[in-house]
Structures are given as structure tokens and as C-alpha cells.
A and B are shown apart, each in its own frame.
Chain A
Amino acid sequence: MKCPETVRLLNAYVDEELEAAGVLAVEAHLRECARCRAREESLRALRSAVQRHTEFRVAPAALRNALQAEFGARKAAPVLPARRQFAWGAAALATLVLAAWGLQVVFERPGAAPARGAGKVVYHISSSQNAGAALRTLRNHLEAAPHTKVVVVAHNEGVDFLLRGARDESGELFATAVRQFKARGVDFRVCNNTLVRRRIDGGGILPEATLVPSGIAEIGRLQDSEGYAYMRM
């Protein structure tokens, strides 16, 4: 065997992926060719350098918990990472602050009354700064009233938190929270007029969210035809 064939097989040789005949041929050539021995040495040095300096990354706990909650056999409620739990006192406070800021909660139910014991609320998020607080409010809301059906309609700058890679104030991916809410039956709907106007590609939206032609029309429809209460964030 000559150098070019040896070079072609050398990676498979050092990876021990070569069948016996190939191994014998490569070894025969290596015994007589210093250049190919240098190639082999370099390849082994490289493999060892890469293996020495790289390692498996451990998936973040929040991601693992969210996936376990969504796809695992035990459909346990997602466990929040410890450092997040300190924030809950603050979240309750944030709710109060939000209320003081003029958060409008309008429990009007025109049209058909909702089914007994199953409240329906549409959250209208139209500003990106309020998304984190809105989701904390939603979490508290669902803790207090777990059977509430909630639809979140995102409109204007409020769609930002549903974009891939978006993060909240503490640096956590919104996608994780959205996925958890989705698993609990919360719907996320995005105003397509907003996307067109802001030239955002629909592919950039988290897969948990669905597009509706107009956010405002959707909110109107939910209130008028389906008896949803309206909550502006």
C-alpha cells in the first residue's frame, strides 16, 4: 500500500474502525514509511488533546425538569431550581406593584356564562417589559385557581417573550416557563398582524405558541363568544 491509501484509511485505523485486512495493510506501510508514522502520531496526539480538553456538558436542571415533567412517565409538576424559589415572595409583591400600576382586571362576562367552577381568563400582553411579571402573576393565579383556563394573547412588543432565545430579567429562558405553562393547559396566541408589521418570521416564534390573524380580534372574540374575563398586562 502507498501513502495516499494509507492516509485515506488512517483515521479509521486510529479509530479502530478498520477491518482486519485493512489493519494489516496499514501497519505494513507504517513500518516502512516515516512520514505516515508522523501522520499517525499527529492524529493520535490530536485525538488525545481533544478528548483531554472536552467533556460532556450536563443539561441544565431546569431543562431536565421541564422535559421530565412533560414527557416522563411520572407527570409530576415541574420542580423549580432552588435559586428560583427565593423569588416567589418577590413575585407576590410584584403582582401588587403591577396592580398599583394600573393593571386592569375586568371580570365582565357578556354572552354565555362559563361552565361552573371553570373560570376563563385571557391575558393580554402588549409590552415586553411586562412579560416576566405577567408570567409570575399567571403562575400565582394558577396556584390559587388551578382549574382556570388561561389564554395568553401577545400583541405589539408583547410578542418578544415568545421569540426563540428570549430571556427574563434573571436570565432564564422564557421558553422553559412557556413550555411548563403549556403543559398545564395555558394557550399562547401571537398576533400575526404584529409579526407582519415588525417583520418577524413566524419560524422565530416558540413552537408552543400559535398564530392568530389579529390579537385584538382574538381577545374580542374570546370575551364575546367564549365568556373570557380580560386581564391586561
Chain B
Amino acid sequence: MSDAEKRARFERLVLPHLDAAYSLAAWLVRDDAQAEEAVQEACLRAFRYFGGLRGDDARPWLLGIVRNTCYSQLQRARQDGDPLQFEDEGCGEDAVAAGAVVSFPVNPEVAAIRQADRERVHESLRALPVEFREAVVLREIHGLSYREIAQACEVPIGTVMSRLARGRRLLQQALGEREQRGESKDTGT
């Protein structure tokens, strides 16, 4: 592929997904300036490894690169002890396996979720551990299928399912919390 052909193909297949790339980066690194940087770096990598794209659907492929770039950036921020970045550990999938998802939503929780305003939704989503956050963002905001999320995050579909379930359960609890506080939680059957 000549340079001109590569550029034409890149422009046609990759650049239309720039907003998607920026949206994902903004949710993952939680800072607009860093998101911008992550997207620039991701596009540089995408261009370099463009030959590795199979087929014509560049979206999950590009989002995977954006995601990896964001993870490197978060890692660097963590090493530098950047106080803006939270520790995202200690909330792994073991909790799901141990049945943490099985708590039973009571009606006030549903009511509170329905009443949750924009600020509260954003705040709760931003507070999710990054691997759950990315699953929820890719599903609800980007509308990716499980298979596409698995491809972007380089994990099996089963992991996508458990991360989504765990992420959503944490969100349900965060958003439903106000009304639910003080009520007993049923653990299901």
C-alpha cells in the first residue's frame, strides 16, 4: 500500500471514529487534556500499526488502541503519584464469582435510580474502577456488542459479561443508595 493509499484508507476507516475515541478516552482518564493526548498518541500508534487492521470495521480496533494508551497513561500517573488518579484496585472479578452481584434491588432503589440526575450519574460512573467503567461506557455510550467489547479490551466474552454485571451493580447501588440507606438488603435465593 502506498503512502497516499494508506492515508486515504486511514482517513476513510479511522478518522470518522475520532469522537468515539475521544469519548472513551475522556471517560477512562477523566481529564480532558489527558484524553486529548491519549487520542493523539493512539492515532499515532493506529497509523503505525494500520496494516494490522483486518476488515473494514476499525471502530473496536481503534477503541482497543485508545484503551491501551489510556491504561499506559493511568499507569504512568500512578507511578508519578499523581493525586488526581485514584487507585482502581481491590475490586476485581473475584467479588462477582463470590456472588456479590446477587444482592436484591428493592423498589426504593429503582425509584432512586430513575430520579438520579445527570451529575449523580456522571459522578458514580467516574468513580467506578476503570475496568468496569470501560465495559459500561463501551456498552451504553458507544453501543458496542459484547463481542466488540471483548475485542477492544482483549478479554474473553465471559469477562465482559462479569465486568458489565459488576459495574452496573455498583452503579445501581451508588444511584439507589440515597433512598435505600438504612433498609435491609436481601441476598436473593
Contacts and interface: CB of A to CB of B under 8 A. Distances in A.
Interface stretch (A58-66, A123-131, A139-147, A148-156): A58-66
A57 B37 contact: no
Interface string B166-189: 001001100110000000001011
A201 B121 contact: no
Contacts of A164: 34, 37, 73, 76
B125 interface: yes
B26 interface: yes
Given A4-B102, A38-B104, A59-B18, A203 B10 contact: no
B120 to A, nearest CB: 8
Contacts of A165: 33-34, 37
Nearest to B139: A15
A42 B10 contact: no
Among A46, A55, A173, A204, the most chain B Cβ lie within 10 Å of the Cβ of A46
A42 B19 contact: no
Name the prevailing secondary structure of the A interface residues. helix
A42 B37 contact: no
B105 A42 contact: yes
A59 B104 contact: no
B183 to A, nearest CB: 13
Contact of B172 (A42, A57, A58, A179): A42
Nearest to A75: B7
A210 B157 CA distance: 40
A196 interface: no
B43 A71 contact: yes
Contact of B102 (A7, A179, A207): A7
A46 B79 contact: no
Interface of A: 2-4, 7-8, 10-12, 15, 17, 35, 38-39, 41-43, 45-60, 63-64, 66-68, 70-75, 164-165, 167, 173, 175-176, 179, 201, 203-204, 207
